[in-house]
Amino acid sequence: MAREKIIKVQIEGGKASTEPPLGPALAEVGLDAAEVVEKLNEITKPYEGMTVEVRIVVDVETKKYRIELGLPTTTSLLLRFAGASEPSGDPMHKKVGDIKMEHVIKVAIMKRPEMNAKTLRAAVKSILGSARSIGLTVEGKDPKEVLREVEQGVYDELIRKYEDEWRRAYKGVLL
């Protein structure tokens, strides 16, 4: 039976370092800190400017590890892209910001590990619903209208552009 040690740390996306506390904790379990930090930075780069909770689960016998991310909420990601500080208290009448359709797609990709959506298109539709509920517009339009446009195929080319990134989206890494 494998014995695991879990190293929990909060880092800014894409900016992990071998400085304490992470470096010494990794060395203590026999991992190459520089290698793990490089992998962490690669995985968390999409969350630059945000604090991400990371769990590194290490098999102390084999030295294999996996990285688990505690992702920011959909609301916080959408608000960040909109440059807004908080959701609207009255989203139907008071809008707090506008985002691009590409931002919606990027949020869908970032949230993939937590979503049940089988396709990027389905994930985008879910994110549009979240955008509407917090008082955002998308490309200057009500997200409900953009959702209809997605269903009509208006954004098919843009969504296809990100399909590979969606397929590669982080699901947990065993190294």
Does 153 lie in the same domain as 88?
A: yes
Does 113 lie in the same domain as 63?
A: no
Contact 135, 82 (CB under 8 A): no
Q: How many CB atoms lie within 10 A of CB 60?
A: 15
Tens digit of pLDDT for each residue in 61-103? 999 999 988 888 899 899 999 999 899 999 999 999 999 999 9
The pLDDT value given to residue 2: 66
Residue 73 is classified by DSSP as P
Asked whether the CA dihedral 167, 168, 173, 175 is positive or negative, the reply is positive
Please list the ranges in the chain whose pLDDT falls under 50.
172-175
**The pTM is what?**
0.76
The pLDDT value given to residue 46: 82
- End-of-domain residue from the set 70, 86, 120: 70
The pLDDT value given to residue 173: 40
- Can you tell me whether residue 35 is helix, strand or coil? helix
Does 163 lie in the same domain as 95?
A: yes
Does 54 lie in the same domain as 83?
A: no
DSSP β-ladder status, 97-99 and 65-70: unpaired
Residue 41, domain member (yes or no): yes
Contact 61, 79 (CB under 8 A): no
**100 CB burial (10 A radius; 0-12, 13-18, 19+):** middle
Query: How far, in Å, CA of 140 to CA of 97, rounded?
Result: 9
Residue 174, domain member (yes or no): no
Does 107 lie in the same domain as 39?
A: no
Q: What is the CATH number of the domain that holds 117?
A: 1.10.10.250
User: Range of 36's domain?
Assistant: 4-70
Q: What is the CATH number of the domain that holds 16?
A: 3.30.1550.10
Does 86 lie in the same domain as 44?
A: no
Does 50 lie in the same domain as 106?
A: no
Q: Report how many domains make up the chain.
A: 2
